[in-house]
Amino acid sequence: MSEGRVKLSVLLLCLAPGGGFLLLLFGLPLVRVLIGSFTDASGAFPTLSTWQRLLTTPVYLDGLWYSLWLGLAPTIVSLLISLPLSALMQANETTQKLFGALYRIPLVVPGIVAGFIVLVLLDRGGTVSRLLAPFGLSLPRLVRDPWGLGAIIASSWKNIPFMTLIIAGSMAAINKDVLLAARTLGASRLTILWRIQLPLAKPGVTAAVLLTFIGSLGSFVIPSLLGPSYPLPLSVHMYMEGFQKGNWPMVYAMGTLLSVCAIGVLLAYYAVIGRIGRTPGGGRQRGGTA
Amino acid sequence: MSVSTHTRRDQIWIGAGLYTYLGITLAVPLLVIFLWTIYDPAVGWFPPDIVPSSYSVSAWREVLADRQIIPSGVLSIIIAVIVTTATGILAFPTAWALAQFPFRLKRAVEVFVLAPLIVPGIVVAQGGRVGLRDQVAPQAIHDDGDDAAGGAGSVDGAHASVPLRAKWKMS
C-alpha cells in the first residue's frame, strides 16, 4: 500500500468515531428538522405553508426579533464587563489564582438557578428593593418587563465567566515582553490595552462573542422564567407549539430559522476573522475552536 | 516576584476591585439563595425584612428525606463522568487528525465538528426527539437549552429519575 493510502486510512479511522457520532446524532436530526419544516400539520410534503405562516404571523415575527434581542443584549452586557475583567486579571498577579477559580462559579450554576437568583434579588419585594426602600428608592421593573431586563441580567450573569475565561485566556497567551517593551517605550496602560492586548486577543474575543450570542439565542429556561408574557422568544414558542399544540412542522421551521440566524452570525464571524488576519498587528490565528 | 506592568500598589487596588466585584455578583446572590433555603415557611419572609425573622431546616430535612435524591445525585455524577469520558474518546482522534493531516475538505470537517456549538441547543434537542418518547423530551430541552455545564447540570433536574433517563438517552 502506498504511503498516501496509509495516511488516508489513518485519517478516516481517526475521523470515523467523532464524525460518525456527530453525523448520526446531530446531522441526521438536523436534516429531519429541515425536512420537517417543509411539511404541514396535515402531513403534506413538500409545502411552504408552515414557513409562510411563520414568516407572516406577527406573534412569531415578534418572537424572532425578541430572540435576537435576547441573544444580542446579554452578549453586549457580558462583553462590556468581561473585557475590563480579563484585562484587570492580567494586571493583578497576587490574587489571580484564587480569583481565577472563584469567578467561574456561575459557569456550573444551572440556568434555572441563575433565573431564581435574579428573581429573589431584583423582583419587586426582592432583596435589593428591600435594601433600597429605607432610602426612598425603588427599582424599575426588572422581572417580566417588556425589555426582558431580568432575563438579560440572568443570562449575562451566566455568560460573563464564560466570556472572561476565553478572553483572559487569549490575553494571557500574549508574550509579556511585548507589554513590558511598550511600557518602557512610554505607552500608557490604556494604550497598551487598546493597541496591543485587544488586537492580539481579538480572535478569542470574537469567538467568545459568537458562542455567547448563540447560547443566548436559543436559551429557554431564563426567558420563560423572567421574560414577559409577550413577546415570547422563538425557543419558548417552539416548546409551546410542540408540547401544547402538537404542531411539530412549526417547531421544525422555527428551529431551522434560529439555526439560519446562528449560521448567519457565524459567517459574519469568519468574515471578521478573515479581515483580522490581513491587518497588521492582528496575528493570523484561528478562532472558534475555543 | 516576576516583572509586571503594574506597581505593587496598583495591584492591591486592582485586587480589591476584583474581589468587590466578586462579592456583589457572586457572594451576595449565593448568600441570599442560601437564606431562602433556611427561612421558616411557617413564618414567611416578607418585606421589609432583609434577613428572615425566623429560621428552619425543614426544607433541607425534606430534601434529605427524599429517598430519590441521593441515588439521583449519584446517577447524575456517573452520567457526567461517562459523558466527559465518551466526549474525550470521540474528540481526541478527531482533533489529532485535524491537527496532523492536511487534507481537502479540512475546513468543512472543522465547521461540521463545531456545528453543534453553532446550532442552538434547543434545535438539536428537537431533532433528538426522533426516537424519544414525547414525555421525556421536554426535560431534554431544559437541559440542552440552557445548560453550559452539560452533563453535570442535570443535578438540578435530579428530583425525578425520568428526566435523568432522558438525559441518558440524549447523551
Which ranges constitute the DSSP H helices of chain A? Answer: 3-22, 28-36, 49-56, 58-91, 96-102, 105-108, 111-122, 127-132, 149-172, 176-184, 189-192, 198-217, 221-226, 234-239, 248-278
At residue B161, the pLDDT reads 33
Average pLDDT for A64-72 = 94
* Residue B3: pLDDT over 80: no
Asked if pLDDT for residue B165 goes beyond 70, the answer is no
**Is the Cβ pair B155, A110 closer than 8 Å?**
yes
Per-residue model confidence (pLDDT) at position A223 = 92
Residue B170 predicted with pLDDT over 80: no
pTM (predicted TM-score): 0.80
Contact A111, A158 (CB under 8 A): yes
User: Are the CB atoms for B155 and B128 separated by under 8 Å?
Assistant: no
Per-residue pLDDT, B167: 35
Kindly tell me if the per-residue pLDDT of A111 is higher than 70: yes
Is the Cβ–Cβ distance between B79 and B154 less than 8 Å?
Answer: yes
Task: Determine the Cα–Cα distance for residues A224 and A242; give it in Å rounded to an integer.
Answer: 15
At B139, is the pLDDT very low, low, confident or very high (cuts 50, 70, 90)?
very low
Tell me the pLDDT band of B10, cut-offs 50, 70 and 90: confident
**Residue predicted with more confidence, A275 or A80:** A80
- C-alpha–C-alpha distance, residues B96 and B72, integer Å: 36
Q: Which is more confidently placed, B131 or B2?
A: B2
More confident residue, A196 or A43: A196
Q: Which residues of B touch A134 (CB under 8 A)?
A: 48
CB A133 to CB B91 under 8 A?
no
Output the pLDDT for position B124. 74
Grid cell for residue B9:
500598589
pLDDT for B127: 66
**Best A13, A35, A107, A117 residue to mutate vs chain B (most B CBs within 10 Å):** A117
At B155 the pLDDT is: 33
Contact with chain B for residue A105, Cβ under 8 A: yes
- How far does the CA of residue A169 sit from the closest CA of chain B (Å)? 17
Q: Do B21 and A133 touch (CB under 8 A)?
A: no
Predicted confidence (pLDDT) at residue B105 exceeds the cutoff of 60? yes
pLDDT at B134 over 80: no
Average pLDDT over residues A31-52: 88
Q: Please tell me which residue, B108 or A198, carries the higher pLDDT value.
A: A198
Minimal CA–CA distance to A164: which of A103, A98, A93, A92? A103
Yes or no: say if A253 and A34 are a contact pair by the CB < 8 Å rule: no
Which residue out of A235, A244, A265, A286 would a mutagenesis test of the B interface target, given it has the greatest number of B Cβ atoms within 10 Å? A235
For A92, list phi and psi in degrees, rounded to 5. -100, 120
Q: With b meaning 16 or more CB within 10 Å and e meaning fewer, what string describes A206-221?
A: bbbbbbbbbbbbbbbb
CA A19 – CA A40 distance, rounded (Å): 32
Helix axes B161-170, B137-146, angle to 10 degrees: 70
* pLDDT band at A90; cut points 50, 70, 90: confident
A70 touches chain B (CB under 8 A): no
Per-residue CA distances from B85 to A209, B18, B92, B128 (Å): 28, 35, 11, 21
Under 8 Å between Cβ of A152 and A77: yes
For B85, the grid coordinates are 469520558
Residue in chain B closest to A158 (alpha carbons) equals B148
CA distance A278 to A289: 20
Instruction: Please tell me the predicted confidence (pLDDT) of residue A5.
Output: 86
Report yes or no: A63 at the B interface, CB cutoff 8 Å.
no
Long-range Cβ contact pairs of A41-50 (< 8 A, separation 24 or more): A41/A247, A41/A249, A50/A249, A50/A250, A50/A252, A50/A253
Q: Tell me what the pLDDT averaged over chain A comes to.
A: 87
The pLDDT of residue B6: 74
Dist CA A144 CA A226 (whole Å): 5
Tell me which residues of chain B, numbers 97 to 116, contact chain A at a CB-CB cutoff of 8 Å: 97, 100-101, 103, 109, 112-116
A238 → closest Cβ in B114, B126, B152: B126
d(CA B167, CA B139): 8
Q: Identify any residues that bridge with A40 across adjacent strands, giving them in sequence order.
A: none
Average pLDDT over chain B, rounded to whole?
A: 74
Quick one: pLDDT at residue A40?
86
- How far is residue A170's CA from residue B96's CA, in Å, rounded to a whole number? 22
Indicate if the pLDDT at residue B149 is higher than 70. no
Lowest mean pLDDT, pick from A13-22, A127-136, B116-125: B116-125
**Which of A75, A72, A67, A262 has the alpha carbon at shortest distance from A160?**
A75
Between residues A92 and A260, the one the model is more confident about: A260
- Please write the tens of the pLDDT for every residue from B52-101: 988 999 999 988 888 888 899 899 999 999 999 999 999 999 999 888 88
How far, in Å, CA of A38 to CA of A280, rounded? 47
Q: A163 vs B132, which has greater pLDDT?
A: A163
pLDDT for residue B152: 36
Say yes or no to pLDDT of A155 above 90: yes
Which of the residue ranges A48-62, A91-105, B35-49 would you say has the lowest mean pLDDT? A91-105
Most confident range, picked from A130-139, A153-162, B1-10, B138-147: A153-162
The mean pLDDT value for B165-171 works out to 34
**pLDDT tens, position by position, A219-229:** 888 999 999 98
B74 C-beta neighbours (distance < 10 Å), count: 11
Highest mean pLDDT among A163-177, B2-16, B94-108: A163-177
Instruction: Using the structure block, give the residue that is written with the C-alpha cell 434545535.
Output: B123
Q: Does the structure show a pLDDT above 50 at A179?
A: yes
Residue A141 contacts by C-beta under 8 Å, 6 or more apart in sequence?
A: A124, A149
Q: Is the pLDDT of residue A55 over 50?
A: yes
Residues on chain A touching B46 (C-beta within 8 angstroms)? 125
Q: Is the pLDDT of residue A182 over 80?
A: yes
